[in-house]
């Protein structure tokens, strides 16, 4: 029963797919994660990227930041602390119809986040990121939440990828990171596509609207527990939110399957968030 429930829930949660291990915050953890290997057994070669952004690609990002911030890019720093709440649904493999749900992101950029999925009448899961480490909690608790070994360091890496690839693109925070390298600009019928590499994150392939300049799609291919995953987030219906241009509609696909649909319900840009929101759970 536990394995079935855990597998069902994990398959729909923004594809974080993280299961809590028995390691507590005081337990010593390895600093390095082994590099995934290709089917041949050799380490998978990373896509070569330039050391600096190409001017054409950088111009696309700058236009997007200007659009998101309403022409006042200095206001982007306010988005580093925010709470975004969504109403929507997730598609469970066991149900022919989507399950109503809510999604809440609490963000203190760049390395603290709390993400809560509440599936109506089913389960609530919370993912916490603090620095390099991450954890998952579930209510109600069903059996053992630790069906296989996944250290907080590995969970933190996965959550960091989702934070940067999704909310970081929506808010312009990933685009404005001084270490982000933008390159390989391509014109397509859907808009201008730019590749972006940031530190250890997988390459993000971001589509920007020709009309407004805002990002409308991000595709990326991270490896999670040895499996390469294809993730695509669509961002549409951009509207004003306290002077920022944010998408009201989100649609998330994984490996070609629609998993989540969200509508922005509420946004908050407080001066700060209570640091206790990002404390590791007591196991």
Evaluate whether 51 touches 230 at the Cβ level (below 8 Å): no
Residue 25: pLDDT band (50, 70, 90) is: very low
What burial class does residue 117 get, using C-beta atoms within 10 Å of its C-beta: 0-12 exposed, 13-18 middle, 19+ buried? buried
Q: What number of CA atoms fall less than 13 Å from residue 159's CA on the CB side?
A: 33
Question: Based on C-alpha coordinates, what's the Rg of the chain?
Answer: 19
Give me 53's structure tokens.
Answer: 């952004």
Contact criterion met (CB below 8 Å) for 115 and 105 = yes
Residues 33-43 have a mean pLDDT of 39
Domains of the chain listed by start with CATH number = 2-21+49-270 (2.50.20.10)
Which tens digits make up the pLDDT trace of 136-148? 988 886 555 443 4
Q: Which residue has the higher pLDDT, 45 or 76?
A: 76
Find the angle CA(49)-CA(50)-CA(56) to the nearest 5 degrees: 110
When pLDDT is cut at 50, 70 and 90, the band that residue 283 belongs to is low
CB atoms within 10 A of CB 164: 24
pLDDT of residue 268: 97
| pLDDT higher than threshold 80 for residue 210 | yes
In percent, the amount of the chain with pLDDT more than 90 equals 71
Burial of 163 (0-12, 13-18, 19+ CB in 10 A): buried
The more confident residue out of 41 and 218 is: 218
Question: Above 90 in pLDDT, residue 254?
Answer: yes
Average pLDDT over residues 232-241: 97
Q: In sequence order, what are the beta bridge partners of 113?
A: 107, 129
pLDDT tens digits for range 87-102:
999 998 888 899 999 9
Q: What is the pTM of this model?
A: 0.83
Tell me: pLDDT of 85 over 90. yes
Distance in angstroms (rounded) separating the CA atoms of residues 104 and 117: 7
Q: Tell me the C-alpha distance between 176 and 62, whole Å.
A: 8
pLDDT at 141: 60
The conformation of residue 178, written as its DSSP 8-state character, comes to T
How far is residue 112's CA from residue 119's CA, in Å, rounded to a whole number?
Answer: 23
> What sections of 39-115 are H helices per DSSP?
55-68
Residue 191 — pLDDT band, cuts 50, 70, 90?
very high
Residues 6+ apart with CB under 8 A from 115: 14, 16, 103, 104, 105, 106, 126, 127, 159, 162
* pLDDT band of 165, cuts 50, 70, 90: very high
Statement: residue 278 has pLDDT above 60: yes
Helices (H) and strands (E) in the chain, counts: 4, 14
């Amino acid at each position: 029963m536990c394995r079935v429930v855990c597998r069902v829930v994990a398959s729909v949660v923004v594809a974080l797919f993280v299961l809590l291990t028995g390691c507590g915050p005081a337990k010593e953890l390895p600093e390095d994660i082994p590099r995934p290997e290709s089917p041949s057994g050799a380490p998978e070669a990373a896509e070569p990227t330039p050391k600096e952004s190409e001017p054409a690609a950088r111009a696309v990002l700058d236009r997007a930041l200007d659009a998101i911030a309403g022409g006042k890019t200095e206001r982007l720093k306010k988005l580093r602390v925010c709470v975004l709440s969504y109403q929507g649904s997730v598609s469970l493999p066991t149900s022919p119809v989507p399950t109503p749900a809510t999604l809440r992101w609490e963000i203190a950029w760049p390395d603290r986040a709390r993400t809560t999925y509440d599936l109506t009448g089913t389960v609530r899961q919370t993912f916490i990121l603090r620095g390099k480490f991450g954890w998952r909690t579930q209510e109600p608790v069903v059996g053992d939440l630790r069906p296989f070994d996944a250290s907080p360091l590995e969970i933190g890496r996965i959550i960091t990828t989702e934070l940067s690839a999704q909310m970081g693109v929506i808010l312009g925070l990933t685009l404005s990171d001084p270490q982000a390298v933008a390159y390989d600009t391509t014109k397509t019928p859907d808009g201008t596509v730019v590749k972006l590499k940031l530190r250890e994150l997988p390459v993000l392939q971001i589509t920007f609207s020709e009309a407004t300049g805002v990002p409308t799609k991000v595709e990326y291919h991270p490896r999670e527990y040895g499996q390469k995953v294809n993730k695509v987030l669509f961002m549409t219906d951009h509207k004003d939110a306290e002077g920022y241009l944010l998408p009201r509609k989100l649609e998330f696909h994984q490996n070609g399957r629609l998993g989540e649909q969200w509508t922005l319900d509420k946004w908050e840009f407080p001066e700060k968030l209570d640091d206790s929101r990002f404390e590791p759970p007591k196991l």
